[in-house]
Structure 1
Amino acid sequence: MRLCRFDDNRLGVVRGDVLHDVSAVLEALPAWRYPLPDHDPLIAALPDLRPRIEALADAAPALPLAGRRLLPPVASPGKIIAAPVNYRLHHDEALADQGIHHGTNILPIDKAGLFLKANSSLAGASEPVTLRFPEARNDHEIELVAVIGRRADRVSRAAALDHVAGYCIGLDMTVRGTEERSMRKSCDGYSVLGPCMVTADEIPDPSTLEMELRVNGELRQKARTADLLRDVAALIERASSFYTLMPGDLLFTGTPEGVGPVRPGDVMRAAISGIGAMEIIVC
């Protein structure tokens, strides 16, 4: 199943090039009072709501997907977690390019660990990336994103994928400089998520996917998730050893080699097999 959020916070099931509005299922979610939950309510309830979602989709008319405003498929992640230098060739290029490392120490992921991005950086596939510091180098980084589906506290690698609700395409936009990663990657709109969330049953093995990113039609990044230094399961194991993962938390798994700058007017096209593609305008 492929879920999207569109237009005015509507919920849709994507089938091919059309969608079916299933927003009525949202009425089954709890009416929260303060304090608000520490997770995304829809993702937490998805296993129970899925039969009703599928029934609503079967009954709802098909609407054209083209022209819809696509919002982030996950509305309220508690955390956005990201993996640095998780492809060997990207680690090599980061060490070799002064424009990337800026004299800072680029550690491999096993030493660097993970980092957090501000939730305010989240954006959907229909939103442009507005460069916060256009005078600086702003790079594209395509990544597979895993959406946590249920509470994960110190889970083993063997059990980790059982805690995944689905997968999305992510763009981890980055201002190059000497500041901490969590600052340079947390500008508004610098965590692009979309175009939909493909539920985990459709991607039983996330290490078999191919990804590519083009800028104005020029191929910049192309890789396979099989090349990840730490795969999705290992990242969940590592992350959950430090903090509890909750439904709706987003895990950006790292970008391959080929990162490069974008400028206002550029169009990025990010694609991952099994998920789809999205085009993002740079402003």
Structure 2
Amino acid sequence: MYLCRFNRDRLGVVEEGVVYDVTAALDALPHERWPQPFGDALFRHWDTVRQAIRDVLPTAVGQSATAVDFYAPVATPSKIVCAPVNYLDHRNEADADPANFYHHLNKIQEAGLFLKSASALVGPSEGVWLRHLDRRNDHELELAVVIGRTANRVSRENALSYVAGYAIGLDMTVRGPEERSFRKSIDSFAVVGPWMVTADDLPDPSQLDIELTVNGEPRQQANTRDLIVDVPGLIEMASRFYALNPGDIILTGTPAGVGPVVPGDTIEARIAGIGAMRVAVNAA
């Protein structure tokens, strides 16, 4: 299933270029009073919503995917977990980059993971908005993993059973001496979309071609088999330190080819088995 959030808060299923409106399936969500638990309500009740979608889908109204705006398929993750320098070619690239102020953190096994503010999350139709035009702002293409149920101290052998699905991610960053999480948590600097492919339709995330272009110019090209720490390993690593809540997002790391963007650029990102998304770069 290709699940999307479109035109603000409509829930959709994408099939062969058509978005079918299954928003009525959200009626199956239980009423919750304050304070709500951590995580995204849709994924806290994932099994219930999936069954409701199946019930609604046969009579859902469809429209062309080119006619809708796509937002992040997760609305309210409790956290966005990021994997630093998780491709060998990118580690070599980072080591040689004079704009990298943290060469000592270029080994993920030693540095661990870091968090990006959930308020940075947007969908592709919202675009990237650059605040610091006097500094270098870089694109970083990543496979995004959406957690479907609470994962706490899970083993890599069982890790994929906690995944709801996968999407395309852009971990945007502004270069500078500040802490990594600070520079990467700017509003709009976590682009996820254009939809989420459920794990049953993409059972193996370990052999996916990924590529990114800017204004049609190839910048990044790799395969997820080249990850230093793979998806099960990242889930295991993260859940050793904190519980992953339903709807939490893991950005799995970026390959070599990281480069700058400026207002007016268009980023196009593709991941095999998921699709493609176009993202406009704007001045905030």
1:47 is displaced (CA, Å) by: 1.7
Q: What is aligned with 2:189? A: 190
Q: What is aligned with 2:36? A: 36
CA contact (8 A) 1:95 1:106 kept: no
RMSD: 1.0
- For 1:220 and 1:196, locate their aligned partners in 2 and report how far apart those are by CA, in whole Å: 23
Secondary structure of the residue aligned to 1:202 is coil
Q: What is aligned with 1:215? A: 214
1:226 is displaced (CA, Å) by: 0.2
Uncovered stretches (5+) of structure 1, i.e. residues with no partner: none
Q: What is aligned with 2:273? A: 274
1:6 is displaced (CA, Å) by: 0.7
Q: In structure 2, give the amino acid aligned to 1:163.
A: Y
Cα shift readout 1:145-191 (whole Å, capped 9, x = no counterpart): 10000111100000000000000100000001111110010000000
Q: What is aligned with 1:131? A: 130
Q: Say if 2:75 is the partner of 1:71.
A: no
Q: Structure 1 segments of 4 or more deviating over 3 A?
A: none
User: What are the equivalent positions in structure 2 for 1:129-278 lying under 5 Å apart?
Assistant: 129-278=128-277
Cα shift readout 1:209-263 (whole Å, capped 9, x = no counterpart): 0100000000000000000000000000000000011110000000000000001
Secondary structure of the residue aligned to 2:45 is helix
Secondary structure of the residue aligned to 2:142 is strand
Q: What is aligned with 1:48? A: 48
Secondary structure of the residue aligned to 1:157 is coil
- For 1:94 and 1:226, locate their aligned partners in 2 and report how far apart those are by CA, in whole Å: 20
Q: What is aligned with 2:97? A: 97
Q: What is aligned with 2:58? A: 58
Going from structure 1 to structure 2, the CA distance change for 1:27 and 1:95 (only over 3 Å counts) comes to same
Q: In structure 2, give the amino acid aligned to 1:96.
A: A
Going from structure 1 to structure 2, the CA distance change for 1:168 and 1:69 (only over 3 Å counts) comes to same
Q: What is aligned with 1:81? A: 81
Secondary structure of the residue aligned to 2:178 is coil
Q: In structure 2, give the amino acid aligned to 1:18.
A: V
1:52 is displaced (CA, Å) by: 2.3
CA contact (8 A) 1:145 1:167 kept: yes
Cα shift readout 1:7-38 (whole Å, capped 9, x = no counterpart): 13010000011011000111111222111221
- For 2:161 and 2:96, locate their aligned partners in 1 and report how far apart those are by CA, in whole Å: 38
- For 1:264 and 1:174, locate their aligned partners in 2 and report how far apart those are by CA, in whole Å: 14
1:201 is displaced (CA, Å) by: 0.7
Secondary structure of the residue aligned to 1:161 is helix
CA contact (8 A) 2:26 2:49 kept: no
- For 2:207 and 2:101, locate their aligned partners in 1 and report how far apart those are by CA, in whole Å: 33
1:105 is displaced (CA, Å) by: 2.7
How many residues were matched structurally? 282
Q: In structure 1, give the amino acid aligned to 2:154.
A: V
Q: In structure 1, give the amino acid aligned to 2:125.
A: S
> Kindly, what percent of the aligned residue pairs are identical?
55
Cα shift readout 1:67-117 (whole Å, capped 9, x = no counterpart): 211111001101110000000010000010102x13653421001100000
- For 2:217 and 2:101, locate their aligned partners in 1 and report how far apart those are by CA, in whole Å: 26
Structure 1 length as normaliser, TM-score?
0.97
- For 1:61 and 1:67, locate their aligned partners in 2 and report how far apart those are by CA, in whole Å: 14
1:63 is displaced (CA, Å) by: 1.1
- For 1:31 and 1:147, locate their aligned partners in 2 and report how far apart those are by CA, in whole Å: 23
- For 1:106 and 1:160, locate their aligned partners in 2 and report how far apart those are by CA, in whole Å: 25
Structure 2 length as normaliser, TM-score?
0.97
Going from structure 1 to structure 2, the CA distance change for 1:96 and 1:61 (only over 3 Å counts) comes to same
Uncovered stretches (5+) of structure 2, i.e. residues with no partner: none
Secondary structure of the residue aligned to 2:169 is strand
Cα shift readout 1:109-148 (whole Å, capped 9, x = no counterpart): 0011000001110000101211021110000000001000
